């Protein structure tokens, strides 16, 4: 269980000037209002607001967002009014809490494609502060992490709603870490047999794949050093289960034909070094035709930028390499939330402009990219999760 004092320390570490008294006041008020309430797990209800607030602090959001995380269920689940929240915590916190409350009360009853599109469009169009969406995503993420405590019928309903609505919204904001975890959890509950079957097949290949990663990392490091191409990070991963499952279904291929089952990530300081590193990779291993993507020159709609290429190792094992700068890497993982402390809703900031432009597109055009049917990771962020 998250301790409130640990939450304060976390916020103080990235924001020494934060109004910690506001957070303390929000915690005490939320604990008082939720007193006696318990979750399906049997834990005190206050565990949930603390987890939500802690996740928002992990994103290094401002105290308004973190306080709103502590208070996000107070209006919906207790007798507290939004007027009371305004009186005690000010209009900014009240605005975020009210926005989250409104989202929670909108009924979503159909996973039919058009209904899901319209619902996502409506959510993005009605929200004028990105913190509302971030708090709601944090709320949904913790609820998905604890979904096993609910009856099966509710698990399936919530997982389907999450896959149709909240994972695509996280994707639109470029928050691949959130999107990826939501998708994995949804897959587990919506397709339990397929999930367990694929998990077994992936686990059978894990040792070989991890051995390849351990072999490739020092090789890449040595090649880059030899060419005097500086880098900051080289790491690797095995492709996520949900992403593999979608690819197998969509392309009707076998697991052995998934070229990005293993992926290496190279993080550099500059764009110039990204392209230099790509050249070194292609000099070292044979590239797979048609598998080179320049998403630095042509970013995805959610702002994701990276160079992607697939190559064949000396042992005939295909793997993917993703190359990007540190700034691109942070944006790939955390999306617009990474920059919120700097822009704080300022529409002149590039991130603020992108969020506002997405809202306008949703209001103006039902077929805009903010409301397109979600088709999986290959159509969205390409991060290493």
How high is the pLDDT of residue 121? 75
Q: How confident is the model at residue 371 (pLDDT cuts 50, 70, 90)?
A: very low
pLDDT in tens, 138-163: 999 999 999 999 999 999 999 999 99
Residue 259 phi/psi, 5-degree rounding, is -65, -25
Q: Is the pLDDT of residue 351 over 60?
A: no
**At a CB cut-off of 8 Å and minimum separation 6, what does 56 contact?**
65, 66, 69, 134, 135, 138
Q: Is the pLDDT of residue 43 over 80?
A: yes
pLDDT in tens, 105-135: 887 765 566 677 777 777 777 788 989 999 9
From the candidates 43, 76, 83, 365, which is the catalytic residue? 76
How far apart CA 260 and CA 25 sit, in angstroms, is 48
Q: Is the pLDDT of residue 204 over 90?
A: yes
How far apart CA 18 and CA 66 sit, in angstroms, is 11
Q: Round the average pLDDT of the chain to a whole number and report it.
A: 87
Domain boundaries, given as residue ranges, for the chain: 4-190, 205-333
How high is the pLDDT of residue 339? 52
Block residue for tokens 């970013």: 299
How high is the pLDDT of residue 128? 86
Determine the average pLDDT of the residues in 354-380: 45
From the candidates 77, 98, 210, 327, which is the catalytic residue? 77
Q: Which residue has the higher pLDDT, 364 or 271?
A: 271
How high is the pLDDT of residue 116? 77
How high is the pLDDT of residue 360? 54
How high is the pLDDT of residue 156? 95
- Percent of the chain scored above 70 by pLDDT? 85
Determine the average pLDDT of the residues in 304-312: 96
pTM of the predicted model as reported, rounded to 2 decimal places? 0.84
Under CATH, which number does the domain 205-333 receive? 3.30.460.10
Is 76 a catalytic site residue? yes
- Percent of the chain scored above 90 by pLDDT? 73
How high is the pLDDT of residue 384? 46
**At a CB cut-off of 8 Å and minimum separation 6, what does 116 contact?**
110, 164, 165, 373, 374
| Structure-token pair, residue 271 | 């764009």
Determine the average pLDDT of the residues in 209-235: 96
Determine the average pLDDT of the residues in 5-30: 97
pLDDT winner (highest mean) among 24-28, 256-260, 367-371: 24-28
Is 254 a catalytic site residue? no
How far apart CA 362 and CA 356 sit, in angstroms, is 10
Written out in words, the top-level CATH class of the domain with range 4-190 is: mainly alpha
Q: Which of 338, 336, 364, 298 is nearest to 170 (CA)?
A: 336
């Amino acid at each position: 269980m998250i301790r409130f004092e640990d939450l304060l320390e976390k916020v103080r570490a990235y924001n020494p000037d934060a109004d910690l008294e506001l957070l303390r006041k929000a915690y005490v008020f939320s604990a008082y209002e939720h007193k006696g309430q318990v979750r399906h797990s049997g834990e005190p209800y206050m565990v949930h607001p603390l987890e939500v607030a802690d996740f928002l602090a992990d994103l290094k959001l401002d105290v308004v967002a973190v306080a709103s995380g502590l208070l996000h269920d107070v209006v919906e689940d207790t007798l507290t009014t939004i007027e009371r929240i305004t009186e005690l915590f000010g209009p900014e916190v009240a605005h975020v809490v009210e926005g989250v409350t409104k989202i929670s009360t909108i009924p979503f009853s159909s996973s039919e494609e058009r209904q899901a599109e319209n619902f996502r469009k409506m959510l993005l169009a009605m929200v004028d502060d990105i913190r509302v969406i971030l708090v709601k995503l944090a709320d949904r993420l913790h609820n998905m992490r604890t979904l096993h405590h609910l009856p099966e019928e509710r698990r399936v309903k919530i997982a389907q709603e999450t896959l149709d609505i909240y994972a695509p919204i996280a994707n639109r904001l470029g928050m691949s870490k959130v999107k990826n975890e939501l998708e994995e959890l949804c897959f587990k509950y919506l397709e339990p047999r397929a999930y367990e079957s694929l998990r077994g097949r992936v686990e059978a290949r894990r040792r070989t794949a991890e051995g390849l990663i351990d072999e490739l990392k020092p090789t890449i490091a040595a090649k880059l050093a030899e060419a005097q191409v500086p880098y900051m990070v080289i790491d690797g991963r095995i492709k996520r289960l949900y992403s593999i499952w979608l690819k197998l279904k969509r392309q009707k291929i076998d697991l052995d034909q998934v070229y990005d089952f293993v992926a290496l990530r190279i993080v550099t300081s500059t764009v110039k070094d990204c392209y230099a590193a790509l050249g070194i990779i292609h000099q070292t291993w044979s590239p797979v035709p048609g598998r080179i993507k320049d998403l630095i020159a042509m970013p995805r709609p959610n702002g994701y930028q990276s160079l992607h290429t697939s190559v064949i190792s000396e042992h005939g094992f295909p793997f993917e390499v993703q190359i990007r700068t540190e700034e691109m890497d942070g944006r790939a993982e955390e999306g617009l939330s990474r920059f919120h402390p700097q822009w704080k809703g300022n529409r002149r900031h590039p991130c603020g402009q992108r969020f506002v432009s997405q809202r306008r597109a949703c209001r103006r055009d039902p077929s805009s990219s903010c409301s397109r049917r979600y088709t999986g990771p290959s159509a969205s962020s390409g991060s290493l999760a």
